[in-house]
Amino acid sequence: MISNYLFGFKDDLSDSLPIYSEYATLFKEIIRKLTVHHPADWKIINLVLNNNQFAEHLKELMAKKLIHFELISYVYEAEATHRLQPIAWDQKTDELIEAVDFSNRIIFFPEYEVAMSESKIFYASDWNNNDELVYFAPSVDKITLFIDSVNDKLRSVLMKQVSYMVDTDDGVKRSNIGASDLITREDVFLEPTLKRDIFRSIDEFFKKDSNFFEFYGLPYKRGILLYGAPGNGKTTLVKSITGTVDAPVVYWQITEHTDSDSIQEVFRLVNSLAPAVLVIEDLDSMPEYARSIFLNTLDGSQSRNGIFIIGTTNYPERIDSALINRAGRFDRAYEVKAPKKDMRYDYLVRLDQQKIFNEDILTIIAKKTRNLSVSQLNELYMSVALNWHYDGELRYEEVIEDLQKQRKHAEKKDWEDEDSSIGF
């Protein structure tokens, strides 16, 4: 192995190679600081990963104290040493937390003999400075062990939460849906046969030995499409899967900002966690210019191995027929319908914790709420409970009438009549 360099750290190159000299000074001092703290033959490692979210995942593990690290030193006294930021990128308040940050710091992971620093490099010649995240380790093997360990820890964390990703005009943003937001399978109100088929398919996929797929010579990937009117439990089904499946779940929100970069970034993340569940919300919102790369990604054998994809849409007529008419993309499509009368009855019983309904009223409501969605049943109970709380009257008939009227207007996309128009 080559052990010497044409241009070393100690050479005075400020005259012949001034830009390199400025660049080398930073890394010479970082390595000197690391060697004092932990003597080793430190090397600069250029780490290129398929998973662009690796650094963010590492910060999450550090914030949760799931990986031990030490702050060796700040780099520049004239640069920020602490970072305050919102708890979540999509929050609506100004509440801030002190974030785990790599910028202007030398971070050391003693268990792995790996260090990292994200520091500005100042070029005096043209003042073109930028942040560069660089890793340090005595050997490549140390870095490899570190990456594997981080991915294993991340997988354990994501077993207990949903990794929620949404495409924005500023790239893919990620937040978490914690365990407190998850629900059980018993909370899912779906037609029994449909519910059985979906959970049976998922459970078989994530058995530790995956013998089913090997025994029948099937590729280890699967995709199902859930479609139907909004409010009938598609999202609830997803949350129940997360709480009861021994695999990470990535929830991806398609928007008008979805493009080839975000598609590749999401699939790189899921591949790094496989076997895993990928939920793709609002497939019908996929921009036209991104559909080709999305279909090609679905067709790729490597990009799908060990991934169970669940696509959802409220508007199946807008879905590209190529998604469900070709094997290997979405294998089955399931319609999630509005609950039937007996399911509406059972759901209202569950909602009515204060027992404001007697059995006769429950029977009447279950009959009159035909075609109402689960979310509309929630609104029905909320409105009736408010009437009961403040006026001592249920007045459920008028609430049902209003909800049925809203449903019909929504189906016809006709909101402008004398009974339902809203003035501005």
The burial class, CB within 10 Å (0-12 / 13-18 / 19+), for 85 is: exposed
Which pLDDT score is estimated for 179?
Answer: 57
The one-letter amino acid code at 307 reads I
**Quick one: what percent of the chain has pLDDT higher than 70?**
87
Which residue, among 28, 26, 17, has the nearest Cα to 122 in the 3D structure?
A: 26
Averaged pLDDT of the chain: 83
Instruction: Name the residue ranges covered by the structural domains of the chain.
Output: 18-156, 159-335, 341-412
Is the pLDDT confidence value at 89 over 80?
Answer: no
Overall average pLDDT of the 259-271 stretch: 89
Which pLDDT score is estimated for 413?
Answer: 61
Separation CA 7–CA 138 (nearest Å): 20
Is the pLDDT confidence value at 305 over 80?
Answer: yes
Overall average pLDDT of the 378-387 stretch: 94
Do 363 and 345 form a contact (C-beta atoms < 8 A)?
yes
**Quick one: what percent of the chain has pLDDT higher than 90?**
32
| 18: confidence class by pLDDT, cuts 50, 70, 90 | confident
| 91: confidence class by pLDDT, cuts 50, 70, 90 | low
Strand, coil or helix: 72: strand
Separation CA 247–CA 253 (nearest Å): 19
Q: What DSSP element (H or E) covers 15? A: none
| 417: confidence class by pLDDT, cuts 50, 70, 90 | very low
What residues have CB less than 8 Å from 256, skipping those under 6 apart? 285, 287
| 120: confidence class by pLDDT, cuts 50, 70, 90 | confident
Q: Phi first, then psi: give them for residue 32, nearest 5 degrees.
A: -60, -45
Which pLDDT score is estimated for 39?
Answer: 96
Do 106 and 115 form a contact (C-beta atoms < 8 A)?
yes
Overall average pLDDT of the 280-293 stretch: 88
Overall average pLDDT of the 338-356 stretch: 91
Overall average pLDDT of the 24-49 stretch: 92
Q: What DSSP element (H or E) covers 329? A: none
Cis preceding linkage at 316, omega within 30: no
- Tell which CATH architecture fits domain 159-335: 3-Layer(aba) Sandwich (3.40)
Q: Lowest-confidence range among 115-129, 163-177, 251-265, 348-362?
A: 115-129
Separation CA 102–CA 78 (nearest Å): 16
- Higher-pLDDT residue of 331 and 29 is 29
